[in-house]
Amino acid sequence: MSQETENEAYTIEPACDSNSRPRVQTDCGKEFATEFALKRHTETHIDKMYSCTECKKCFSAQNKLRQHMNIHSSKYKCSVCGKSCRDRQALIRHGRSHSGEKPFECSVCGKRFSQAGYLPRHSKIHRGEKPYKCQVYDMAFIQSWQLTVHMRVHTGDKPYKCSFCDRRFSTSSHLLSHEGRIHSNITPFSCSYCGKLFARIDEVKCHLRVHTGSKPFSCRHCSEVLETLYQLKTHLLKSHNEGTWFTCHICQKKFGLKGTLKRHMQRHEGVKP
């Protein structure tokens, strides 16, 4: 490893408000909420010398290997789904996927998250940061993976192939949805409360609110709390005249989300995905 990589520089930039965590930015372009997260990332630039005897995965430090071995020993095993985690904190974070708990709240819009690391990424929305730009359309994205997925519109790349037919998809979520709805009702995701099965993980998360009564989306103008982002955006449009309506040019029906308009247009086009 070169001295330059070992001494990788970083800067801490002020966040959008006093309650937000600082953002740590490295020379390789990645941003982190804490210096600990930065330190963990810099290990990816170090040669990995410690190998797991079970799965051959390699690590840069012995303590990382010891944590990883807990997965094979099932020391930290989820009592709901049986997944093994590397340590107690990872098990706690995983447990929130079953309970629906989201203890970390955005101080600007009230949106809640299951992990603290999601907050700095979300705060880019309020700062208006969209550093990843499409070179074809006048579009920009908050995260690099969003640009990667978007560029498949231009390249036609569909890396995800259905196991049952020849159809291919640009995202893994579209593939899971296709296989779950079309082929033998495949439903790999289950509710930890009632056992109901779903084709997509986001459907499980929405369904869990039936059991938990969770309403994670709160209006910053009034005391209204809502279950979904769509309900929040529609509320802001109707009650506070905030945001933009997306109007169908055929029937003039209005929608709060661009994706909802896109699905609506498929009805006019006769598309039945």
Task: Note the pLDDT tens digit of each residue in 185-231.
Answer: 656 677 888 888 876 677 787 888 888 888 878 888 888 888 877 78
212 and 273 in a single domain? The answer is no
Q: Residue 18 and residue 35: Cα distance in Å, rounded?
A: 18
> 181 lies in a domain?
no
Give the integer Cα–Cα distance in Å for 233 and 215: 14
- Other CB atoms closer than 10 Å to residue 244's CB: what's the count? 10
Q: What is the pLDDT of residue 25?
A: 47
Residue 236 shares a structural domain with residue 247: no
CATH at 236: 3.30.160.60
Examine the domain organization and report whether 122 and 208 are in the same domain: no
- Interatomic CA distance for residues 10 and 3, integer angstroms: 15
Of residues 259 and 78, the one with the higher pLDDT is 78
End-to-end CA distance of the chain: 50
Last residue of a domain, one of 112, 127, 142: 127
111 lies in the same domain as 211: no
**pLDDT band, residue 247 (cuts 50/70/90):** confident
* Same domain assignment for residues 210 and 256: no
In a domain, 174, yes or no: no
Residue 180: what pLDDT?
67
Q: Decide: 200 and 190 in contact? Cβ < 8 Å.
A: no
Do 72 and 104 lie in one domain? The reply is yes
For residues 197 and 184, is the Cβ–Cβ distance under 8 A?
A: no
Tell me the per-residue pLDDT of 37-61, one tens digit each, with 9 for 90 and over. Answer: 676 676 666 565 778 887 777 777 7
Tokens representing 113 are 């998250």
* Residue 89 within any structural domain of the chain: yes
Q: Which residues contact 133 (CB under 8 A, 6 or more apart)?
A: 139, 140, 141, 147
Q: Are residues 215 and 227 both part of a single domain?
A: yes
- Residue 227 inside a domain? The answer is yes
On whether both 56 and 118 belong to a single domain, the answer is yes
Domain boundary among 63, 95, 127: 127
Are 262 and 237 members of one domain?
no
Q: Which of 93, 127, 161 is the last residue of a domain?
A: 127
Q: Read off the CATH number of the domain in which 268 is found.
A: 3.30.160
Does residue 15 form part of some domain? yes
Domain count, the chain: 3
- The three-point CA angle 154-149-106 to 5° equals 140
- 250 and 209 together in one domain: no
Query: Is residue 184 domain-resident?
Result: no
> Per-residue pLDDT averaged across 7-18, rounded?
37
In this prediction, residues 153-172 reach a mean pLDDT of 83
The answer, yes or no, to whether residue 72 has pLDDT greater than 60, is: yes
- CA-to-CA distance for 203 and 99, rounded, in angstroms? 14
273, 207: one domain:
no
Q: How many CB atoms lie within 10 A of CB 33?
A: 20
102 belongs to a structural domain: yes
Note whether 235 and 270 are same-domain residues: no
Burial class (CB in 10 A: 0-12, 13-18, 19+), 178: buried
Q: Is residue 136 part of a domain?
A: no
Q: What is the domain range of residue 268?
A: 243-273
